[in-house]
Amino acid sequence: MRYEILGPMADRFDEVLTAEALEFLIALDGEFAARRVALLDTRRARRARYASGQLPDFLPETEHIRTDPTWRVAPPAPGLVDRRVEITGPTDRKMTVNALNSGAKVWLADFEDATSPTWRNVIGGQLNLMDALDRRIDFTDERGKRYALGEEPATIVVRPRGWHLVEKGIVVDGRPISASLVDFGLYFFHCAHRQLDAGAGPYFYLPKLESHREARLWNDVFVLAQRRLGLPQGTIRATTLIETITAAFEMEEILYELREHSAGLNAGRWDYIFSIIKNFGQWPDFVLPDRAEVTMTVPFMRAYTELLVRTCHRRGAHAIGGMAAFIPSRDPQVNEAALGKVRADKQREAGDGFDGSWVAHPGLVPTCREVFDAVLDGRPHQVDRLREEVAVTATDLLAVDKTPGQVTAAGVRANVAVALRYVDAWLGGAGAVALWNLMEDAATAEIARCQVWQWLHHGTPLADGGCVTEDLVRSVLAGELVALVDGRDGPDRDRAEAAARIVEETTLGEDLPAFFTTEAYARHLSPAALTDQR
């Protein structure tokens, strides 16, 4: 197999893109590329069945796995026993230091939704992780502020990009390689031994899985990777994000496929709702109200999180709760109100049996830790709380029509505004974007543009009068673009206009694109031309 590096070789990139590391990637690609493509075909076929009226259910062919009470996942690995607070964020140098020093138990080092996949971000992020493990990450920024790694850094858990994405900077036999294998492979090759020497291990979060067969593919990747580096099987540990409706019906099977390598499951929010719309958005019973109204306490979200905790604890696995995305403000009243909501959300999770939860900003770590400290009461987790009283049916998981709330003109505008500003920032190289006191990532833009598509598709009535029409959406988008480009010229203005075209194309078409990131990456993020526009 012939490979070629199309991305430019910036300073020290040769330390990441060594001949040995590239040979490792090519070996993974040669073994698993065809299976990845076949599983993506299966996704498309499943979505077509749902479009024709079929609904998901628990799989009859795997009932024996769900009803077998004897199997368990591997015990928690070093550094993953206590996960009461996890912070998420991209792998730029500043975030790497701040996250590791945040006081959180775990840092989700994100190559996926919180990272714009420019070549500089992808390879530079790998270099930052290597430097962090070698304790040479300290630096001084352009304002003279010093960033230095503390003595008790968080455990690093890397989230590679999903199976649906490719990396254009590395091609094999003329085709781009799987982005999942690039992010996983480079980190594992360079950092597995570094992590083991530090008393931890190579740990991962697995995003956007839609079935246990996709989990099986990851497990087989792990087996081969460990074999090639001479590491014992089970050295790798992975937490799977249950952020698609199809995966919610296969939680037990996903844990089972990964059981030698499993570190638990995580309950997402925006991606899960995005998955609901993507699969069933053409049906009127699945129309959702304004995004802010779809909280974790509405019936279908409550069913999903309750089932996740029960499933994890039954199998000896950690259950990790969702994101608190608030960014602390200088306004004390804004802070007080927002932190009250964060505290209530974390109290719900801890009370439901979750073993830890996510925050997006170091300023939220104390609030989350305080809540879980009170519930855990000296224990590292509450996996022994089995939640045997929970009984969730397929009907419960699909009870979207029981979601209270309404669609408003403000909700339409909010979704368009967030989608436009996020895509603009993403095209400029930023994947974690502060918008209106919230840290937003790609999942936010996906749910925002999907909701607009769904409301438009159904001509959804607005609580304030009228309904969602193409003219309304175009008018809102035009107004938001005017506000965004104010004071811009040249490439910055061009980028904003490109972002508006992406939002238009992914909200106003007859069909709903599966992801905005795939087409936007293919058309707008060239490895050579768009390495960093911030």
Q: Which pLDDT band, with edges at 50, 70 and 90, does 534 fall under?
A: very low
242 pLDDT above the threshold of 90: yes
By C-alpha distance, which of 136, 159, 140, 161 is closest to 149? 136
Model pLDDT for residues 403-437, shown as the tens digit of each residue = 999 999 999 999 999 999 999 999 999 999 999 99
pLDDT at 533: 33
Identify the burial level of 279 via C-beta atoms within 10 angstroms of its C-beta, where 0-12 means exposed, 13-18 middle and 19 or more buried: buried
Cα separation of 243 and 240, whole Å? 9
Name 227's Cβ contacts closer than 8 Å, sequence gap at least 6: 233
Q: What pLDDT, in 10s, does the model give residues 203-235?
A: 999 999 999 999 999 999 999 999 999 999 999
Token pair listed for 16: 């990441």
Full-model pTM = 0.97
pLDDT level of residue 528 (50, 70, 90 thresholds): low
Distances (CA, A) of 439 to 292, 335, 425, 432, 436: 15, 15, 12, 6, 8
Backbone angles phi, psi at 199, to 5 degrees: 90, 10
- Contact assessment for residue 454 and residue 277, using Cβ atoms and an 8 Å cutoff: yes
Average pLDDT over residues 471-499: 97
Q: Given this model, what pLDDT does residue 531 score?
A: 44
Active site residue 441: yes
| Catalytic-labelled residue, pool 83, 84, 120, 159 | 159
Return the pLDDT at 532: 40
Residue 286 DSSP code: G
Active-site annotation holder among 291, 387, 441, 449: 441
**What residues contact residue 152 under an 8 Å CB cut-off, 6+ apart?**
none
Q: What is the pLDDT, as a whole number, of residue 525?
A: 82
